[in-house]
Structure 1
Amino acid sequence: MNKAENIYQELLDLERDSRKVKTAHFNAAERKKRKHTFFGLCIVIANFLIFSPLINLFFVDNPDNLIIAIKILAIVGAALAGVQTFFNWEKESELHLSAGALYTNIYRKTGTLLAKFKDALITVDEFIEEFEFLQNKYLEANNTYKSCIPSEHDFTKAKNRISERAKNKHS
Protein backbone atom coordinates (compact mmCIF):
# COMPACT_ATOMS: atom_id res chain seq x y z
CA MET A 1 0.00 0.00 0.00
CA ASN A 2 1.26 3.45 -0.96
CA LYS A 3 2.47 5.34 2.10
CA ALA A 4 0.46 8.44 1.09
CA GLU A 5 -2.78 6.75 0.03
CA ASN A 6 -4.57 7.52 3.30
CA ILE A 7 -3.12 11.02 3.43
CA TYR A 8 -4.37 11.58 -0.12
CA GLN A 9 -7.90 10.62 1.02
CA GLU A 10 -7.56 12.90 4.06
CA LEU A 11 -6.54 15.76 1.76
CA LEU A 12 -9.60 15.15 -0.42
CA ASP A 13 -11.71 15.34 2.74
CA LEU A 14 -9.94 18.54 3.80
CA GLU A 15 -10.59 20.05 0.37
CA ARG A 16 -14.29 19.11 0.55
CA ASP A 17 -14.67 20.35 4.12
CA SER A 18 -12.85 23.65 3.56
CA ARG A 19 -14.99 24.31 0.48
CA LYS A 20 -18.19 23.63 2.39
CA VAL A 21 -17.13 25.74 5.38
CA LYS A 22 -15.98 28.66 3.22
CA THR A 23 -19.27 28.63 1.31
CA ALA A 24 -21.24 28.43 4.57
CA HIS A 25 -19.33 31.43 5.96
CA PHE A 26 -20.05 33.44 2.81
CA ASN A 27 -23.73 32.46 3.09
CA ALA A 28 -23.77 33.59 6.74
CA ALA A 29 -22.09 36.88 5.81
CA GLU A 30 -24.66 37.49 3.09
CA ARG A 31 -27.57 36.68 5.43
CA LYS A 32 -26.29 38.95 8.20
CA LYS A 33 -25.62 41.78 5.75
CA ARG A 34 -29.22 41.49 4.48
CA LYS A 35 -30.54 41.75 8.05
CA HIS A 36 -28.34 44.77 8.74
CA THR A 37 -29.49 46.45 5.53
CA PHE A 38 -33.18 45.67 6.16
CA PHE A 39 -33.16 47.06 9.70
CA GLY A 40 -31.12 50.07 8.60
CA LEU A 41 -33.57 50.83 5.83
CA CYS A 42 -36.52 50.55 8.25
CA ILE A 43 -34.79 52.98 10.62
CA VAL A 44 -34.18 55.46 7.79
CA ILE A 45 -37.82 55.24 6.66
CA ALA A 46 -39.11 55.73 10.24
CA ASN A 47 -36.87 58.79 10.69
CA PHE A 48 -37.85 60.14 7.29
CA LEU A 49 -41.53 59.88 8.17
CA ILE A 50 -40.99 61.54 11.56
CA PHE A 51 -39.34 64.59 10.01
CA SER A 52 -41.27 64.69 6.74
CA PRO A 53 -44.24 66.96 6.16
CA LEU A 54 -45.83 64.05 4.25
CA ILE A 55 -47.05 62.48 7.47
CA ASN A 56 -49.07 65.65 8.14
CA LEU A 57 -51.22 64.84 5.11
CA PHE A 58 -52.58 61.74 6.81
CA PHE A 59 -53.57 63.60 9.99
CA VAL A 60 -54.88 66.93 8.67
CA ASP A 61 -58.18 66.56 10.52
CA ASN A 62 -56.72 65.23 13.77
CA PRO A 63 -53.40 66.76 14.93
CA ASP A 64 -53.52 64.74 18.18
CA ASN A 65 -53.19 61.54 16.14
CA LEU A 66 -50.23 63.12 14.31
CA ILE A 67 -48.39 63.49 17.60
CA ILE A 68 -49.20 59.90 18.55
CA ALA A 69 -48.06 58.62 15.13
CA ILE A 70 -44.76 60.51 15.40
CA LYS A 71 -44.17 59.13 18.89
CA ILE A 72 -44.90 55.59 17.68
CA LEU A 73 -42.53 56.01 14.73
CA ALA A 74 -39.83 57.35 17.08
CA ILE A 75 -40.26 54.36 19.41
CA VAL A 76 -40.21 51.90 16.49
CA GLY A 77 -37.12 53.56 15.00
CA ALA A 78 -35.31 53.52 18.35
CA ALA A 79 -36.30 49.89 18.97
CA LEU A 80 -35.06 48.86 15.52
CA ALA A 81 -31.79 50.73 16.07
CA GLY A 82 -31.41 48.96 19.43
CA VAL A 83 -31.99 45.56 17.84
CA GLN A 84 -29.52 46.37 15.06
CA THR A 85 -26.91 47.49 17.59
CA PHE A 86 -27.48 44.50 19.87
CA PHE A 87 -27.12 41.89 17.14
CA ASN A 88 -24.30 43.78 15.36
CA TRP A 89 -24.95 42.02 12.05
CA GLU A 90 -22.52 44.21 10.12
CA LYS A 91 -19.57 43.21 12.32
CA GLU A 92 -20.63 39.56 12.23
CA SER A 93 -20.90 39.73 8.45
CA GLU A 94 -17.34 41.06 8.22
CA LEU A 95 -16.13 38.30 10.56
CA HIS A 96 -17.78 35.64 8.38
CA LEU A 97 -16.20 37.21 5.27
CA SER A 98 -12.76 37.00 6.91
CA ALA A 99 -13.37 33.38 7.87
CA GLY A 100 -14.61 32.59 4.37
CA ALA A 101 -11.48 34.14 2.87
CA LEU A 102 -9.25 32.02 5.10
CA TYR A 103 -11.11 28.79 4.25
CA THR A 104 -10.98 29.79 0.56
CA ASN A 105 -7.21 30.01 0.82
CA ILE A 106 -7.04 26.56 2.41
CA TYR A 107 -9.40 25.16 -0.25
CA ARG A 108 -7.32 26.58 -3.11
CA LYS A 109 -4.07 25.30 -1.62
CA THR A 110 -5.50 21.80 -1.15
CA GLY A 111 -6.46 21.75 -4.83
CA THR A 112 -2.98 22.85 -5.84
CA LEU A 113 -1.38 20.25 -3.58
CA LEU A 114 -3.58 17.51 -5.04
CA ALA A 115 -2.58 18.56 -8.56
CA LYS A 116 1.13 18.64 -7.69
CA PHE A 117 0.91 15.20 -6.18
CA LYS A 118 -1.05 13.73 -9.10
CA ASP A 119 1.47 15.19 -11.53
CA ALA A 120 4.36 13.84 -9.44
CA LEU A 121 5.84 17.32 -8.98
CA ILE A 122 6.49 16.72 -5.28
CA THR A 123 7.77 13.81 -3.24
CA VAL A 124 5.58 11.81 -0.88
CA ASP A 125 7.38 13.39 2.08
CA GLU A 126 6.75 16.90 0.72
CA PHE A 127 3.13 15.95 0.11
CA ILE A 128 2.69 14.75 3.69
CA GLU A 129 4.44 17.83 5.06
CA GLU A 130 2.24 20.22 3.04
CA PHE A 131 -0.86 18.25 4.00
CA GLU A 132 0.00 18.57 7.70
CA PHE A 133 0.59 22.30 7.25
CA LEU A 134 -2.83 22.75 5.58
CA GLN A 135 -4.55 20.58 8.14
CA ASN A 136 -3.05 22.72 10.92
CA LYS A 137 -4.20 25.89 9.11
CA TYR A 138 -7.72 24.42 8.95
CA LEU A 139 -7.69 23.59 12.66
CA GLU A 140 -6.34 27.07 13.48
CA ALA A 141 -9.11 28.63 11.39
CA ASN A 142 -11.69 26.55 13.25
CA ASN A 143 -10.27 27.82 16.54
CA THR A 144 -9.95 31.44 15.39
CA TYR A 145 -13.51 31.63 14.10
CA LYS A 146 -15.29 29.55 16.74
CA SER A 147 -17.24 32.67 17.76
CA CYS A 148 -18.90 32.89 14.33
CA ILE A 149 -20.08 29.45 13.36
CA PRO A 150 -22.44 29.39 10.38
CA SER A 151 -25.94 28.06 11.02
CA GLU A 152 -27.18 24.66 9.87
CA HIS A 153 -29.17 26.54 7.23
CA ASP A 154 -25.93 28.12 5.96
CA PHE A 155 -24.31 24.68 5.71
CA THR A 156 -27.33 23.18 3.94
CA LYS A 157 -27.35 26.08 1.49
CA ALA A 158 -23.59 25.62 0.98
CA LYS A 159 -24.04 21.92 0.24
CA ASN A 160 -26.79 22.72 -2.26
CA ARG A 161 -24.74 25.44 -3.97
CA ILE A 162 -21.74 23.14 -4.29
CA SER A 163 -23.95 20.39 -5.73
CA GLU A 164 -25.46 22.83 -8.22
CA ARG A 165 -22.02 24.01 -9.34
CA ALA A 166 -20.91 20.40 -9.77
CA LYS A 167 -23.99 19.62 -11.90
CA ASN A 168 -23.46 22.72 -14.04
CA LYS A 169 -19.78 21.91 -14.45
CA HIS A 170 -20.56 18.43 -15.77
CA SER A 171 -23.42 19.58 -18.00
Structure 2
Amino acid sequence: MEATPDREDYQIAIICALGIESKAIIGIFDKIHETSVNLWCKTNGDHNAYTTGRIGKHNVVLTYMPGLGKANTSTVASTIRTTFRNIILALVVGICGGAPCTLGKDPKDIHLGDVVISTEIKQTDLGRNYSDSFIAKTSNEVAKPAFLSGDKDSHWYPSSAPAFRLPGAGREKRDFI
Protein backbone atom coordinates (compact mmCIF):
# COMPACT_ATOMS: atom_id res chain seq x y z
CA MET A 1 0.00 0.00 0.00
CA GLU A 2 1.29 3.43 -0.95
CA ALA A 3 1.92 5.79 1.98
CA THR A 4 0.41 9.27 1.82
CA PRO A 5 3.25 11.75 1.21
CA ASP A 6 4.16 14.51 3.65
CA ARG A 7 3.80 18.10 2.50
CA GLU A 8 7.59 18.24 1.97
CA ASP A 9 7.23 15.56 -0.72
CA TYR A 10 5.39 17.84 -3.16
CA GLN A 11 7.48 19.72 -5.74
CA ILE A 12 4.88 20.52 -8.40
CA ALA A 13 1.90 22.84 -7.97
CA ILE A 14 -0.91 23.37 -10.43
CA ILE A 15 -3.12 26.44 -10.07
CA CYS A 16 -6.56 26.58 -11.72
CA ALA A 17 -9.03 29.46 -11.81
CA LEU A 18 -12.12 27.60 -13.00
CA GLY A 19 -13.81 24.42 -11.82
CA ILE A 20 -13.79 22.94 -15.32
CA GLU A 21 -10.00 23.36 -15.42
CA SER A 22 -9.43 21.69 -12.05
CA LYS A 23 -11.73 18.79 -12.95
CA ALA A 24 -9.62 18.16 -16.06
CA ILE A 25 -6.45 18.12 -13.95
CA ILE A 26 -7.97 15.76 -11.39
CA GLY A 27 -8.86 13.52 -14.32
CA ILE A 28 -5.18 13.02 -15.15
CA PHE A 29 -4.17 12.19 -11.57
CA ASP A 30 -3.05 8.56 -11.33
CA LYS A 31 -3.85 8.62 -7.62
CA ILE A 32 -5.64 11.13 -5.41
CA HIS A 33 -4.16 11.28 -1.93
CA GLU A 34 -6.46 10.98 1.07
CA THR A 35 -7.92 14.44 1.77
CA SER A 36 -8.54 13.91 5.48
CA VAL A 37 -4.85 13.15 6.01
CA ASN A 38 -3.82 16.41 4.36
CA LEU A 39 -6.12 18.71 6.38
CA TRP A 40 -3.63 18.96 9.22
CA CYS A 41 -0.79 20.07 7.01
CA LYS A 42 -1.94 23.59 6.06
CA THR A 43 0.00 26.37 7.75
CA ASN A 44 -1.72 29.21 9.61
CA GLY A 45 -3.00 31.83 7.18
CA ASP A 46 -3.20 29.42 4.25
CA HIS A 47 -6.79 29.62 3.02
CA ASN A 48 -6.17 27.81 -0.27
CA ALA A 49 -8.20 24.71 -1.10
CA TYR A 50 -6.06 21.77 -2.22
CA THR A 51 -6.32 18.39 -3.85
CA THR A 52 -3.14 16.36 -3.66
CA GLY A 53 -2.22 13.38 -5.73
CA ARG A 54 0.26 11.74 -8.02
CA ILE A 55 0.77 12.10 -11.77
CA GLY A 56 3.26 9.51 -12.96
CA LYS A 57 6.02 9.53 -10.35
CA HIS A 58 5.38 13.13 -9.31
CA ASN A 59 3.49 14.25 -6.21
CA VAL A 60 1.34 17.17 -7.31
CA VAL A 61 -0.70 19.69 -5.35
CA LEU A 62 -3.66 21.24 -7.16
CA THR A 63 -5.06 24.48 -5.80
CA TYR A 64 -8.12 26.45 -6.75
CA MET A 65 -8.40 30.21 -7.01
CA PRO A 66 -11.27 31.86 -5.12
CA GLY A 67 -11.90 34.09 -8.12
CA LEU A 68 -10.37 35.46 -11.30
CA GLY A 69 -7.76 38.20 -11.49
CA LYS A 70 -4.20 39.12 -10.67
CA ALA A 71 -4.77 39.63 -6.95
CA ASN A 72 -6.26 36.15 -6.49
CA THR A 73 -3.54 34.55 -8.60
CA SER A 74 -0.82 36.32 -6.65
CA THR A 75 -2.31 35.39 -3.28
CA VAL A 76 -2.78 31.72 -4.19
CA ALA A 77 0.70 31.43 -5.72
CA SER A 78 2.49 33.01 -2.77
CA THR A 79 0.46 31.22 -0.09
CA ILE A 80 0.97 27.74 -1.54
CA ARG A 81 4.68 27.91 -0.66
CA THR A 82 3.92 28.52 3.01
CA THR A 83 2.38 25.05 3.26
CA PHE A 84 4.27 23.21 0.52
CA ARG A 85 7.80 24.62 0.93
CA ASN A 86 9.51 22.38 -1.62
CA ILE A 87 7.50 23.50 -4.65
CA ILE A 88 9.97 24.09 -7.50
CA LEU A 89 7.53 24.24 -10.40
CA ALA A 90 4.14 25.95 -10.39
CA LEU A 91 1.91 25.82 -13.45
CA VAL A 92 -1.12 28.02 -14.03
CA VAL A 93 -3.31 25.74 -16.11
CA GLY A 94 -6.40 26.92 -17.89
CA ILE A 95 -8.53 26.98 -20.98
CA CYS A 96 -7.00 30.20 -22.36
CA GLY A 97 -10.31 32.02 -22.36
CA GLY A 98 -8.49 35.27 -23.08
CA ALA A 99 -6.38 34.03 -25.99
CA PRO A 100 -6.82 36.09 -29.17
CA CYS A 101 -8.36 34.36 -32.16
CA THR A 102 -8.74 35.31 -35.82
CA LEU A 103 -11.36 32.62 -36.49
CA GLY A 104 -9.14 30.48 -38.71
CA LYS A 105 -7.71 33.32 -40.80
CA ASP A 106 -4.26 32.88 -39.28
CA PRO A 107 -2.61 29.44 -39.44
CA LYS A 108 -0.87 30.27 -36.15
CA ASP A 109 -4.19 30.44 -34.26
CA ILE A 110 -4.44 28.54 -31.02
CA HIS A 111 -6.47 25.34 -31.40
CA LEU A 112 -8.06 22.96 -28.93
CA GLY A 113 -5.33 20.77 -27.46
CA ASP A 114 -2.50 23.23 -28.10
CA VAL A 115 -0.07 23.83 -25.26
CA VAL A 116 0.87 27.47 -24.67
CA ILE A 117 4.03 28.16 -22.67
CA SER A 118 4.86 31.69 -21.64
CA THR A 119 8.46 32.84 -21.86
CA GLU A 120 8.00 36.35 -20.56
CA ILE A 121 5.95 38.37 -18.14
CA LYS A 122 4.07 41.43 -19.35
CA GLN A 123 2.80 44.09 -17.01
CA THR A 124 -0.70 45.15 -17.95
CA ASP A 125 -1.57 47.53 -15.14
CA LEU A 126 0.47 50.57 -16.16
CA GLY A 127 -1.56 52.99 -14.11
CA ARG A 128 -5.05 54.02 -13.05
CA ASN A 129 -7.85 55.57 -15.02
CA TYR A 130 -9.84 58.24 -13.23
CA SER A 131 -12.84 60.10 -14.61
CA ASP A 132 -10.70 63.12 -15.52
CA SER A 133 -7.17 61.71 -15.84
CA PHE A 134 -4.81 58.75 -16.09
CA ILE A 135 -2.09 58.39 -13.46
CA ALA A 136 0.82 56.26 -14.66
CA LYS A 137 2.78 54.08 -12.26
CA THR A 138 6.34 55.25 -11.78
CA SER A 139 7.90 51.81 -12.36
CA ASN A 140 6.78 49.79 -15.36
CA GLU A 141 9.49 47.14 -15.15
CA VAL A 142 8.60 43.64 -14.04
CA ALA A 143 11.58 41.61 -12.91
CA LYS A 144 11.93 38.53 -15.09
CA PRO A 145 12.54 35.30 -13.17
CA ALA A 146 16.06 33.92 -13.64
CA PHE A 147 14.89 30.79 -15.45
CA LEU A 148 13.20 32.94 -18.12
CA SER A 149 16.21 35.22 -18.57
CA GLY A 150 18.34 32.71 -20.47
CA ASP A 151 19.33 32.63 -24.09
CA LYS A 152 16.58 31.76 -26.61
CA ASP A 153 18.67 28.74 -27.65
CA SER A 154 18.65 27.26 -24.16
CA HIS A 155 17.29 23.84 -23.25
CA TRP A 156 13.80 25.36 -22.91
CA TYR A 157 13.52 25.45 -26.70
CA PRO A 158 13.89 22.05 -28.35
CA SER A 159 15.41 22.00 -31.83
CA SER A 160 12.37 20.18 -33.13
CA ALA A 161 9.01 19.90 -31.43
CA PRO A 162 8.09 16.38 -30.36
CA ALA A 163 4.86 14.97 -31.78
CA PHE A 164 2.41 14.70 -28.88
CA ARG A 165 -0.66 12.56 -29.34
CA LEU A 166 -3.49 11.54 -27.08
CA PRO A 167 -3.23 7.98 -25.76
CA GLY A 168 -4.84 5.52 -28.13
CA ALA A 169 -6.75 2.33 -27.48
CA GLY A 170 -4.79 -0.05 -25.29
CA ARG A 171 -2.29 2.60 -24.18
CA GLU A 172 -2.26 4.17 -20.76
CA LYS A 173 -1.66 7.85 -20.16
CA ARG A 174 1.30 6.98 -17.94
CA ASP A 175 3.10 5.80 -21.10
CA PHE A 176 3.28 9.47 -22.07
CA ILE A 177 4.47 10.93 -18.75
Alignment TM class, shorter chain as reference: under 0.3
What is the TM-score of this pair, normalised by structure 2? 0.21
Q: More strand per residue: 1 or 2?
A: 2
What is the TM-score of this pair, normalised by structure 1? 0.21
Q: More helix per residue: 1 or 2?
A: 1
Bigger relative contact order, structure 1 or 2, given CA contacts below 8 A and separation 6+? 1
